[in-house]
Every structure is written in structure tokens, then in C-alpha cells.
Amino acid sequence: MSEVECFRCDKFGHYASKCPDRLLKLKLQEAQEDEIEDTEKADKLMMHEVVYLNEKKVVPSKYEEDREDDNVWFGDDSRIDIKGKGLIEFIDRNGEARTMADVYYIPDLRSNIISLGQATESGCDVRMKEEYLMMHDAKWKLLVKATRGGNRLYRVRMGIRNTMCLISASMSESSRWHARLGHVNLDTMKIMVQKKLVVGIPEVNIEKKVCDSCLMGKQTRQVFPQATSYRADKVLELVHGDLCGPITPSTPAGNKYIFVLIDDHSRYMWTILMKEKSDAINRFKRFKSLVEQESGKKIQTFRTDRGGEFVSQEFNSFCESAGIKRHLTVPYTPQQNGVVERRNRTLMEMTISILKHMSLPSFLWGEAARHSTYLLNRIATRSMKEITPYEAFRSKKPNISHLRVFGCIGYAKVDSALLKKLDDRSRRLVHLGTEPGTKGYRLLDPQTKKIVVSRDVVFDEIRGWNWSGNSQNQSEVDGFTIEYGEYGNHGIKGVANSETIETEAENDETAAVDVGGMEENNRDEDSEEDSDNGEGNNQIELRRSQRVRTQPSYLNDYILLAEIEGELLLMCLNDEPRDFYEAKESKSWMAACEDEINSIVKNKTWTLVDLPVGAKPIGLKWVFKLKRNSDGSINKHKARLVAKRYVQRYGIDFEEVFAPVARIETIRLLISLAATNGWEIHHLDVKTAFLHGELKETVYVTQPEGFIEKGSEDKVYKLSRALYGLRQAPRAWNDKLNQILRDLQFKRCSKEPSVYRKKVNQETLLLAVYIDDLFVTGTSLIIIEEFKREMSSKFEMSDLGRLTYYLGIEVQQDSEGITLSQRRYAMKILEEAGMMSCNPVNTPMEAGLKLSKATEEKDIDATAYRKNVGCLRYLLHTRPDLSYCVGVLSRYMQNPKESHEAAMKQCLRYLRGTTNLGLTFKRSSAGTRLVGYSDSSHNVDPDDGKSTTGHVFYLGESLISWCSQKQDTVALSSCEAEFMAGTEAARQAIWLQDLLSEITEATSRKVVIKIDNQSAIALTKNPVFHGRSKHIHTRFHFIRECVENGLVEVEHVPGTEQKADILTKALGKLKFKEMRELIGVKVVAEDDFKLRRENVGLSLKA
């Protein structure tokens, strides 16, 4: 027997750590803990994993209280009362919204239970197999799949659908009419219903509820002023007038003021929108003529304040000649003109309220003011007993049954003549009230920014347009406020983000928001009485001006490239402020301005000094730009302080200005090298790059707007470093960057000064410079990161990571290679040209089409034509399939005709169906040999008989360079045309060969140029053909020398394999598609859905 004694049970033969009693107790304890854990899990399942019937946020919707005192009995003879029965909305396993009916609402029930028996009664299929419980609906769609727990209960996860407050989900009839009437006072609305002052409003029970829109637009601590002691006895005996403004932001037509006119007898009101105060006299003359003609009475007295626009000599003379008495208020006493002052306040309160109710952007205040005027004339006022201003002025009751909530969604019927088979039958627009003088509604299309007038409209008065999709628009919604000055509201001031949209109107007579209430006296009378029987025109868009713009005769011999550049610049501007005055209202833009100033101060760019005698400072200007990502989202707000360089004089303010940038062929060559070898490409940006350039000249600039030093307003800045906008700034920055890169052991390429190369041990680093954008690639990621650290120590850098967006080109890098596309830019071109909804075609130009000057045809809009050509030319960086078409269209920019416009539309229609095409650079081990293809089309220009040259070059299998251009000299034969085309290709081949050799530090093999004309090949090799080539210009014999020196090798290629053929002529549908694939243009981004007479990859079977 062992002498070992256990200290736990006092038995021999084992230690205490191995005592059987202790082990048994541990097992029992673990079993109890497991049981407790299972019980807790079961309680948690019952309380949290089943549908929450006893929580407020998931109370059954539309439930009815149980009045029969039903109870739920339990096994211990206890019972709980049922409060009601209703519906529960949940999300099933397929993500669809479902409704569970006949759900009992039992607040005192701790657990939540789903009855499987009730589910089977409603047609559901319930199956339990192994560890799973599955429930399908009658259509065999999976509703519930649960796993059995340790306590044999099934854990059910059901997503409760987000519920809405029933008050916000539905609007009572009283609230709806309160919103329709512009959030009028509820007591006034009650009087209108009881006294039946208007026709069309139902006898609703007026509920006094808190209205957020009313509080935001009307809440004030001031009491309503008492009525005036004097009252006119007849219409137009006394007219009150006042000018309200300026209001910012201005309307899209540039209006900032509201001219308010009120008839004292009827309290009928007119409002006129104006751009300047000086317009008051002309608008009053027009108003007087219209209102007197309509009413048959004369304006006797006109009461205003002493504003300069009302006491001018011209205004007084007109009133005197027209027999109108003048009443002027005492200075600083606006109470003497209280009628119009109070009406101004009411007008602006209603304007803000209806804007806020549907969260409309503040630039629509003109439309809101026009609609508010329309409503106030049809609403009872305290000064008019049992009658509206409309009835008092026109002697008939107004009909308001046609009113709808301002700013709500309206679905307008699309004219059947404009419909295609699969087009929508209605358009989703924003309601802006009724159209003056028309039996129809006035609607705004926020996407096209056009006004639409339609009679056939279905309204959704609960929903409004989602203006918050753009952060800039959202700031406009929240930023509109009205401030009353110290002396009343002589100048109502609006504080807002002043970014506005463009409209189709060109003057204030036809603008969407300019009509105001001017036509209030003759608008919609017929439509009010019989608004459903009129014959209104559907989809009448805003009329464009018919004024013909004539170019000065001395410019007939010039192509105004400045217009093209200006249009391209305007295309890039999107929600960007035009000047500092607009930008200062936005916190984002002001922060960008402060960052720019801080960068200038940090770099010690200038010093504040007194201006020397005889020196002339250069002005400064703020330029604002939104930097966007490849998907179109906003990356950052960028503000740049730019010098006005047009005042600089050569030899005094600057000398050398040239600065090199990387050619696009170089960029594609580097991308091809990186893709072939599997290198990563990174993107760096130098912040405020030009501020690092050192100046040699003495330059003075003015203080920037918004950042003028207090107490030193007369001083100027002396520049020690370059500033953006200076003519010598690019050169100074390039010299500074070149010096830094040389210090970092980089070598500049002689064939491409914007490309640098660095060798570290066995690793190679390549760098391409495009102003302040650095394109970096190399054999090792380590050496790239080391370069980033070195540059960060020299400049303030932005590390943009792997290259994704460069010079407007979308770049995608993966393990298989690199793709380039300009899909987003192509979509913008189509949008600007109005071709987004066009039918796509298969070729950019009809086969065999030969355009000419066509002097007998009609002229077209040259500006729009040049803009489209300029945009398409930049698209050619990744789309060689468009090179020939765009090249031909470029020849007629000086005087485009109708045939050229038709060819342009053909090209845009082709682009609409091929926005997803681009270039692919694949990873390959085939090597980096240069191969070129040269071709020409003989005598294709009917005007001068010149031929078209085309060539393409490949590095391995990647397309890196191409060209399609008209030859300078007339060729007498196809052999001669091919020979001259081969010479142009040889020039490009030599440059590419030298650049590639310098970058790779390896001797490149001779470039092979493939030509499909045997005679031209023989002419490049054998001088025997001198008799046929003696008239050819000497420079075209350059290819012979290249062949003799072994730099270029010329080979024959069959015409079916000539890749440059697509660059020299318009091909047919099948041939064009074949050559496009052969040249290397492929689909790089799949479209969401396309329907082209056949369904591709889409099953329409049930």
C-alpha cells in the first residue's frame, strides 16, 4: 500500500490534485455552467432573436386595439392581456420586404413567439431536417432558415424593416391644404373654409399642429402692426411700392431685387424681379401701362420711401407727366409705408417656408416669390373682411382647386412624338406652380436645368426632389436667410452659397424665375375656372433667343482657338465659384484659400514692402477648382492664387518661359514597360509646385483679395519665388526640380527632357514629370518608397499611391497588366453635346465617305462644332479607332457645314455605344522590340487631292504610338503616298528607338516597319527607281538613309494584316470591327446593361 496520503479526502494512494472527489465536483460544476449558459442562450433567443413585438419601435403597424379582453393563458394558470392585433414588416432571406399579418400586440409578454401553425395556414411550407428549420412561402421562396440550439429551440434572425412615423408617412387633409396654400395662418385658413371665400377647398377640420416649415420661415417675437387709419376707396387710387434686396444668391438669370407693388384698396400685389435698382423706372412704366389697361382706371398716387431709384429726376418727371401724385416717407421712418413693408415681410416669410418645406435650393427663391405672390392674392388678409384681394380687384372669387404643394414631385406626360419603344412615359420633375398665361403647370427638370410646361401631370405632394446628392446644392438649401436692416427692410439681405445653375434663358423676359408676379394681373383666370378642359401644350420647353450673332468681318480669315479653349475650360467648371466673392460664402473654399496662403508664407514666397517709385505691381486673382476621383466623386477643393500675367513685359518682368512636359507617347511607353515587367506605377503630386521656383527678376504683386493686411493696405508684395500665373513660373519650377533630381543622382534623358532615370545597385527607377505630377515606376517597390521619402524632405508632397487617374485617363493596375480608358470623359462629351440618349452605331464614319468644304451647304454653329472636335481630340489618347474620323472633322473647323455636322453626330453616336473601350498593356515575357505599321490612302481629299498618312507602333504586344494625318504634298501615285508615309513612320521609329535605348540602357534591335506596298518597299531599298522618285521632296528620302544605316528594317505585310489601315480611311462595319480588335482596342469596362436589337447575356425567360 502506498504511503502517499491525499490532503482532500485523507485517503492513501493518490495526491490531492488527482483526487476522484475533486474531479467529480469539477465535472458537476461544468455541467451546471453549461446548463446555465444554454438557459441564458434560450432566454436571449426568446428576448432578442425573434421578432420584437413588445418594443415600441416595432409595434405592429395599423394595429387595432382589442376590445373583447382576449387573454393568453400559460401552463401555470397565469394569463396576459392582448392589447391589439396588427402587421409587422420584415426583410426575408432574399432581401425582400415582407408583411406578417395577424400579429398580437402583448406589451407584458417577455418572450416573442412565431406560430408555425399559423404560418402553415397562410400557405407556408415548414420543414425540419437534422439541425435546420426552413420555412418557404407559397411561391417556394425562402423566408426563414434557422439552426437548432442546445435547448432544442430554433434561432430565428429576422431583419425588421425600418419603420416611419405615421405622421410623416401620411399627411392629413388639413396639413395638405396648409402646405398647398403656402403655409398660411391656420386661423385664416379656418375663416376661408367657414365663410366659403374660395371655391375648390373641401370642408376640412382645421387641426392646429406644429409646422416645422412655418417655424423656420415665420417664427418671430414681433407683434403684428395695427391697421392704417386711411384706406383708399377705389382700385389704383393709392399704390404702395418698395424695393426688396439685394438677395443672394442671385437667380439663374442674375436677378437680385424684388419690386413689390400693392393696391391699397384691394391689397392686390404685384412682384417684379430685377437685376439692378436702376431698372425700377422702366419696370414701373411697363407695370403702369398693363395694370391701367386691364382695370380701366388710372394710378392716382404712388407711395414709396426715399430710395434713390424712386426720387431720381427721371422717375419724378415721368410721374409728373403721367399725373401721378407722389407720397414719400420721412427719412428713417419706414412705418409710414407700413402696408408694403408688412407685405414684404409676409412675402419673404412665405418664400422661405415653401423653400424649406421641400428642401429646395435657395437659387429658386425667384420661383418661390412668384408663387407666393400668386397665393397671397388668393388668401384672406386681416385688412380685408370676408373677401380676398383677388376678388376685391377682379370682382370674382378665386378657384384654388388646381393648387399643389410647391416643390413637390410631379410626373409629367412625355409627348408621344418624342417617345421610343422602351422610353419612360413620364418625366420626374419639380413643381414650381402654374405657368403665367397658360393652362398648365410650371415644372423644373433638375438634371437638364430646363423649364417644362405641361397640363398632364400627376403629383406626389409628400415627396420632394433629393437635392442632397450634391454637397454644393445642400449648402445652398441650408444657407438662405433673410436679415432685416436697422431701418426696416429697405434692403433685405440674403446670405447664401451663391453657386447657381445655368438655364436656357438669355434675358429676363423669358427666364424661368424672371417673370415674377408681373403677369399676375392676366394669368390663369381661365385655367382656374376650367383647369381640366383647356388645350395646353405638353412639354413646352423654354424658348431660346433667335438673335443671330454675327462675327466681325476682320475675323473671317481666322480660326478663333481662344473660343475652343474657353469652351473646354467651361466644360471643366462644375459647381466652382467664379470669383472670391462667391467662394467666401463656403467654408470649404475658404479653407482651401487659407491653405494656399499658408503654403505661400511657409515657402517664403514674398515680402510685404512699399511700392518703389516707377514700379507697377501685378494683380492677383483667385482660381477655384474641384479635384475629382476617377469615379467623379470630389477629392478636394483646390484654390490657387494666380498672377495676372498679361501685364508682364518681355525683358523687364520675364525672359525665358519654356518648360518641358512629358509627351503622351512617352507615358504610354513607360506604362508598357511597367506592364511587361510587372512593375507598379505610383503617382506623386508636389503641393504648390510653382512656389518653389526661384525668380531672377524683380516682381511686385498686389495683396490678394480677402487677405489684405490691416494697416498696410497701400503696401505690395515683393516676390522672391515664383507664383502661379507668372510667365516664367513654369521655367523656374522646372529648373528647381531638375536641380533637386540631379542631387538625388537622377539622369535626364536627352531624347525626352521630362524623363529621368536612376540606377541603384541592380535596381532601376524611372520618373516622368508633367508640371507638378510625378509618374514613378521601377523594378522594386523599396526603391520607389525611398524616392518618396527623399522628395518629401525637399518638398511638401501628396502621395496618391498607385496610379489610378492621370491627365484625365483612368488607369487600372492588376496582376495581369494595366488598362487605360477615358470612359468618364467620353460620357461628359456626350452629355455636353446632348447625345446621351442617341442610338449607337457601329462605325464612327460611313464607309467610303469623303467630306469636302461643301461651300454650297448651309453654315452651322461653328463654336459648338469646334468644342466637340477639341474634346474628341483629347479622347484620342486612348482611342486610336477614332483617329481618322476626328482627324477628318478637324479639317473643317474654320467653316463647318451641314454635312460636317452630320459626320460629327455619326462619330458621337459611335462613341455612345463604345464608351467602355480602351487600351490594354499585358504582362509578357516576349521582349520589348519595337514594331511599326505604315499605311496611306491615296487621293482621298476631294478638295486638294492629298493623301492621308497613318502609322502605329508596338512595344512587344502593347500599342504605344499612332498617328493619322493629312500629307503636306500631293502624291502622284499610291506608291509615292506609301513612300512618304513610310518616311514619317521612320522618323517616329528612330525617336522611339533612341528613347527606349536610353531608358533601358540596352542596345535596341532595329525597328521593323511593315508596309503593304511592294513598290514603296523597293523604293526605300533600291535607288534604281530614281526616275519615279526624282520629284519627291528630299526630306522624304530620309527612310532610305535609315535603311542603309541599319536603323530601320522594312518588311512587307499583307493588306488584311495591315494594322494601320484603320487610320487612313473609313471602313465598313465588319472590316472596322476586325481592324479595331487587330490594332488592340478592347473592352476594359463592362456596361451595366445594353439593348441593341438582341439580348446579350440576359435571360428574359420566366
Question: What is the structure's pLDDT at 26?
Answer: 67
Q: How far apart are CA 97 and CA 158, in angstroms?
A: 11
- In the prediction, which pLDDT does 844 show? 92
Most trustworthy range by pLDDT among 71-75, 94-98, 625-629, 712-716:
712-716
User: Rounded CA gap, 422 and 839, in Å?
Assistant: 12
Residue 323, sorted as left (phi over 0), alpha (psi -120 to 50) or beta, turns out to be left
Domain 186-400+471-527 has CATH 3.30.420.40: no
Cis amide linkage into residue 249, ω under 30° from 0? yes
Residue 508 has pLDDT above 60, yes or no: no
Is the per-residue pLDDT at 858 higher than 50?
Answer: yes
Q: Which residue, chain included where needed, has cell 412561402?
A: 137
Domain residue spans of the chain: 1-39, 50-163, 186-400+471-527, 580-807, 820-1083
**Rounded-to-integer distance, Cα 697 and Cα 615, Å:** 13
**How far is residue 148 CA from its own chain's centroid?**
51
pLDDT higher at 497 or 659: 659
Of 186-200, 210-224, 257-271, 861-875, the poorest mean pLDDT is in 210-224
The pLDDT value recorded for residue 39 is 46
Q: At what angle do helices 862-875 and 883-890 cross, to 10 degrees?
A: 150
**What pLDDT shows up at residue 25?**
67
pLDDT of residue 309 exceeding 60: yes
- Number of neighbours of residue 40 by Cβ within 10 angstroms: 10
Short-list 430, 582, 575, 445, CA closest to 501: 575
- What is residue 54's predicted lDDT score, i.e. its pLDDT? 36
* pLDDT band, residue 68 (cuts 50/70/90): low
> 241 pLDDT exceeds 60?
yes
Residue 224 predicted with pLDDT over 50:
no
Comparing 962 with 600, which gets the higher pLDDT?
Answer: 962
What's the mean pLDDT in 443-468? Answer: 85
- Local confidence band at 1087 (pLDDT 50, 70, 90 cut-offs): low
Among 168-177, 450-459, 529-538, the range scoring the smallest mean pLDDT is 529-538
d(CA 665, CA 173): 68
- Averaged pLDDT for residues 367-383: 86
Dihedral through CA 666, CA 671, CA 676, CA 677, nearest 10?
100
Residues in the chain, total: 1102
**Residue 909 pLDDT > 90, yes or no?**
yes
- Report the predicted TM-score, pTM, of the whole model to 2 decimal places: 0.47
DSSP string, 276-345: SGGGHHHHHHHHHHHHHHHHS----EEEE---TTTSSHHHHHHHHHHT-EEEEPPTT-GGGGHHHHHHHH
Cα 78 from chain centre:
64
- Provide the pLDDT confidence category of residue 528 given band limits of 50, 70 and 90: very low
CB atoms within 10 A of CB 335: 12
Which of 1-5, 434-438, 677-681, 862-866 is the least confident region? 1-5
498 contacts 250 by C-beta, under 8 angstroms? yes
Per-residue pLDDT at 952 exceeds 90: yes
pLDDT score of 490 more than 60? no
CB atoms within 10 A of CB 845: 22
Structure confidence at residue 953 as a pLDDT band (50, 70, 90): very high
* Whole-number pLDDT of residue 648: 58
Helix (H, G, I), strand (E, B) or coil at 429: strand
Q: Is the pLDDT of residue 736 over 70?
A: yes
Nearest to 363 by CA among 438, 283, 444, 433: 444
What is the grid cell recorded at 1077? 480588335
Mean pLDDT throughout 728-735? Answer: 78
- Stronger pLDDT, 1008 or 771, i.e. the higher one: 1008
Query: Long-range contacts: 573-582, Cβ < 8 Å, 24+?
Result: 574/626, 575/470, 575/472, 575/499, 575/626, 576/624, 576/625, 576/626, 577/498, 577/499, 577/624, 579/622, 580/622, 580/705, 580/706, 581/498, 582/498, 582/499
At 652, is the secondary structure helix, strand, or coil?
coil
* Strand 805-806 relative to strand 809-814, pairing: antiparallel
- Given a cut of 60, whether residue 945 has pLDDT beyond it is yes
Same fold, 186-400+471-527 and 820-1083: yes
Q: Which of 131-145, 219-233, 906-920 has the lowest mean pLDDT?
A: 219-233
pLDDT at 571 over 60: no
Report whether 356 contacts 185 (CB < 8 A).
no
Region 136-149: mean pLDDT is 79
| pLDDT higher at 692 or 789 | 789
For residue 124, which of 104, 100, 148 has the smallest C-alpha distance? 100
Q: What percentage of the chain has pLDDT greater than the value 90?
A: 7
Q: CB 528: neighbour CB atoms within 10 A? A: 22
- Give 436's contacts (C-beta < 8 A, 6+ positions apart): 515, 519, 520, 523, 524
pLDDT at 911: 92
What is the average pLDDT score of the chain? 76
**Interstrand relation of 1048-1052 and 1007-1011 (parallel, antiparallel or unpaired):** parallel
Give residue-wise pLDDT tens across range 999-1050.
Answer: 888 877 788 999 988 888 877 776 554 555 555 655 666 777 777 777 888 8
Q: What is the 3-state secondary structure (H, E, C) of 386-407?
A: CCCHHHHHHCCCCECCCCCCCC
Q: Which fold has domain 820-1083?
A: Nucleotidyltransferase; domain 5 (3.30.420)
- Is the model's pLDDT at 315 over the cut of 80? yes
DSSP state, 839?
P
Question: How many angstroms separate the CA atoms of 313 and 281, rounded?
Answer: 11
Sign of the dihedral through C-alpha 647, 651, 654, 659: positive
Question: What is the rounded radius of gyration, in angstroms, for the C-alpha atoms of the chain?
Answer: 39
Three cell numbers written together for 594: 487659407
DSSP strand E in 742-808: where? 747-748, 755-760, 763-770, 773-778, 797-802, 805-806
pLDDT at 165: 44
Q: Is cis: bond before 246, omega within 30 of 0?
A: yes
What percent of the chain shows pLDDT beyond 70? 75
**Cα distances (angstroms) measured from residue 991 to each of 571, 660, 672, 794, 880:** 35, 17, 16, 33, 20
Look at 44-48, 120-124, 997-1001 and tell me which has the smallest mean pLDDT.
44-48
> Per-residue pLDDT tens for 804-829?
888 888 898 888 889 999 988 999 99
The dihedrals phi and psi of 596, each to the nearest 5 degrees, come to: -65, -45
SS3 call for 955: strand
Tens of pLDDT, residues 380-426: 887 777 788 888 888 888 888 888 888 898 998 887 766 777 778 88
Cα–Cα distance, 780 to 783 (Å, whole number): 6
Confidence of residue 285 (pLDDT cuts 50, 70, 90): confident
Report DSSP letters for 561-601, one per residue.
Answer: HHHHHHHHHHHH-SS--SSHHHHTT-HHHHHHHHHHHHHHH
Find residue 759's DSSP bridge partners.
Answer: 764
Beta-sheet strands, E only, within 815-867: 817-821
Residue position matching grid coordinates 483629347: 874
- Give mean pLDDT, residues 778-792: 88
C-alpha span between 612 and 714 (Å, rounded): 12
What pLDDT does residue 446 have? Answer: 86
Q: For residue range 611-630, list pLDDT tens digits in order.
A: 888 788 888 888 888 877 76
Q: Which residues 6+ apart lie within 8 Å of 707 measured at CB?
A: 593, 597
Max mean pLDDT range (100-109, 171-180, 1006-1015): 1006-1015
